[in-house]
Amino acid sequence: MSAFRTPRWPRAALSGMAAAALLTAALPTAPPARAADRSGSPVPARYSHQQLNWQPCAGKPSLECARMTVPRDWHHPDTGADLTLAVSRHRATGPDRRRGVLMMAAGGPGASGLTRPADFAARSPAVGAAYDVVGFDQRGVGSSTPARCQTDAEFQDFYAHDFRDRSPAALRGVLGRSRQLAAGCLRRSGDLVPWLTTEQAVRDMDLFRALLGVRKISYYGPSYATWLGAYYATEFPQRVERAVLDSNLDFSGTWQNAEAGQPRSFQRRFEQDFLPWIARYDATYHYGRTAAEAKARWEARRRSLRDHPLTVGSLTIGPNQLDNATIQNIYNAQRQFPQLASALSALDHWPTATPAERTLVGKLFGSYLSPGFAATFFSVTCNDTPWRGDLGYWIRRSGEDTAAHPLAGARELAYAATCAAWPVPAAPRVRVTGKGLPTTLMLNSEHDPATYYEGALAAHRALRGSRLVTVTGGGDHGQYQNGSACVDGLVNAYLLDGAAPEHDMTCAAGPLPVPSGRG
């Protein structure tokens, strides 16, 4: 469970937030109409008695949207200006079969979850018939009260260099830009970012539950939303009917430890899955007949972009952009391997690239994250759990990871140095145990690059009573609604009938894609 500590943010960052008496964790254990915290004190009526004014969601005819008011700090709800959360609902299409509310959340942290219930229900119509599927933009994200840390120009500059450059000048530049990012969060959103934590967000979720008028929810969450869901289930186990955690971070530990394994797992996905695949189709992509040849060509392109960056419209493609596009496009083989391979091939014959190829390159190389995403990502990951502040340690460690796992290891210093420069985090520590929960269903592939399998195993051990479905022979990120009849059948049986597996199980990954026109 959690214990509250007063945030150690600079006084200037907390303007308008006077010190308040210590409170223990905040939200409902009473019936939905009267949410209360664990001490028995009711949540202030301005939150618990508000009405959700549902209106059609723009661009999503099957979806309703509303706005919800939450306190900036659930532990001191009368201090500071309130926040607004955008929430959504896809009503169950089979009212006679309706079994409750399924809340879903987005990954990141920093991705928008507001419109996801519409697509989720469309892809799983039986689940959409049985549940009101609801979603939200987490505090700091999108249509909710947003966080801001960088201008567009500052965000571009953060990634504009070469993270593999280990010269003293380059290292000073990385550390300086990381400090500037943290300072920018203080300067532009200092009265918000201390409260952008997973622990605060789960209390927003429970208020949403209460305002929906239900005693319990079921839950689906992928990627970072596994961390969010595990924290919610730990803080409010009596509110959980069923929960599916898809592609799991190791929510039993710290963000520092969770991110420490990503250089290895991204390199594994790149070298063991993508490179052999593109080599298999050398006749299509002309990128090398073996994985080693394809890797050598990719490294040669990176060196070329370091020495001669490519300009595509307003976009400058340098070595970090090659890293970023590759990282972002190895999450899902069917959807992304062919487009990444086509873009890499186009770079090799750029003077004769077709308009379609140039458009694809601009799309893939120009869509990595955003200033808004980064603001929430760093706020949550730096706030939730402590980070080591020893920059000498991070310089040494990032050097080792850059040499061994360069695809994602090269960026490690920039990310870690941002959290090392962050004010001392003071979010209550939530320790996930599974106590009081029904059987939780967990899904993970063996070669997932972002939520790597070793971390999922640790999370599975911590979440006692959970069942893990391992997708063998694959590395996609996100298993449900990803084309596996085995996975979808298990999840649907669990959500619709409560049929949790009696033990851990495996499902075989589907085949890798075949380029169009080839057998």
pLDDT, tens digit, for every residue of 367-402?
A: 899 999 999 999 999 999 999 999 999 999 999 999
Per-residue pLDDT tens over the stretch 429-472: 999 999 999 999 999 999 999 999 999 999 999 999 999 999 99
Same domain for 393 and 360:
no
Q: Is the pLDDT of residue 1 over 70?
A: no
Marked catalytic residue, from 48, 112, 223, 247: 223
Least-confidence region, from 40-44, 66-70, 324-328, 341-345: 40-44
518, part of any domain = no
- Give the DSSP letter string of 81-137: --EEEEEEEE--S-GGG--EEEEE--STTT---TTHHHHHHHHSHHHHHHEEEEEEP
Same domain for 361 and 393:
no
- How far out from the chain centre does Cα 35 lie? 28
| Amino acid 224: pLDDT | 98
Same domain for 416 and 350:
no
Marked catalytic residue, from 246, 448, 476, 488: 448
Rg (CA), the chain: 23
Average pLDDT along the chain: 92
Query: Of 300, 332, 365, at which residue does a domain stop?
Result: 365
Tokens of 320: 């970090």
Total domain count, the chain: 2
Q: Indicate the length of the chain as a whole number.
A: 519
Per-residue pLDDT tens over the stretch 85-96: 999 999 999 988
Marked catalytic residue, from 342, 477, 484, 488: 477
Q: Of the candidates 86, 107, 110, 109, which has an alpha carbon nearest to the alpha carbon of residue 373? A: 110
Per-residue pLDDT tens over the stretch 211-240: 999 999 999 999 999 999 999 999 999 999
Provide the pLDDT confidence category of residue 9 given band limits of 50, 70 and 90: low
205, part of any domain = no
- Average pLDDT (354-361) is 96
Q: Of the candidates 90, 171, 170, which has an alpha carbon nearest to the alpha carbon of residue 131? A: 90
Same domain for 347 and 405:
no
Per-residue pLDDT tens over the stretch 257-302: 999 999 999 999 999 999 999 999 999 999 999 999 999 999 999 9
Same domain for 345 and 305:
yes
- Average pLDDT (145-156) is 96
Higher pLDDT, 163 or 16: 163
pTM of the predicted structure, to 2 decimals: 0.92
176, part of any domain = yes
CA angle 82/84/86 to nearest 5° reads 165
Q: Please report which residue ranges of 240-370 form alpha helices under DSSP H.
A: 255-260, 262-269, 275-280, 282-285, 291-307, 319-328, 333-348, 355-365
Q: Is the pLDDT of residue 201 over 60?
A: yes
Share above pLDDT 70 across residues of the chain, in percent, rounded to a whole number? 92
| Amino acid 7: pLDDT | 46
Q: Give the residue numbers spanning the domain of 319.
A: 265-365
41, part of any domain = no
- Average pLDDT (147-158) is 96
Same domain for 400 and 358:
no
- β-pairing, 100-104 with 83-90? unpaired
Same domain for 361 and 282:
yes
Q: How far apart are CA 444 and CA 289, in angstroms?
A: 30
Same domain for 361 and 405:
no
Higher pLDDT, 58 or 476: 476
Lookup result for tokens 């018939």:
129
CA distances for 353 relative to 69, 188, 310, 342, 345, angstroms: 51, 42, 13, 11, 9
412, part of any domain = yes
Say if residues 476 and 272 touch (Cβ distance below 8 Å): no
| Amino acid 95: pLDDT | 82
| CA-based end-to-end distance of the chain | 54
Residue 460: active-site member? no
Say if residues 74 and 48 touch (Cβ distance below 8 Å): no
Higher pLDDT, 16 or 205: 205
297, part of any domain = yes
| Amino acid 263: pLDDT | 98
* 389 SS3 class: coil
Residue 223: active-site member? yes
299, part of any domain = yes
182, part of any domain = yes
Provide the pLDDT confidence category of residue 426 given band limits of 50, 70 and 90: confident
Same domain for 312 and 273:
yes
| Amino acid 410: pLDDT | 98
Q: Is the pLDDT of residue 32 over 60?
A: no
Same domain for 325 and 294:
yes
Q: How far apart are CA 221 and CA 217, in angstroms?
A: 13
Q: Is the pLDDT of residue 33 over 80?
A: no
Same domain for 340 and 401:
no
CA distances for 285 relative to 276, 282, 327, 375, 393, angstroms: 12, 5, 19, 37, 41
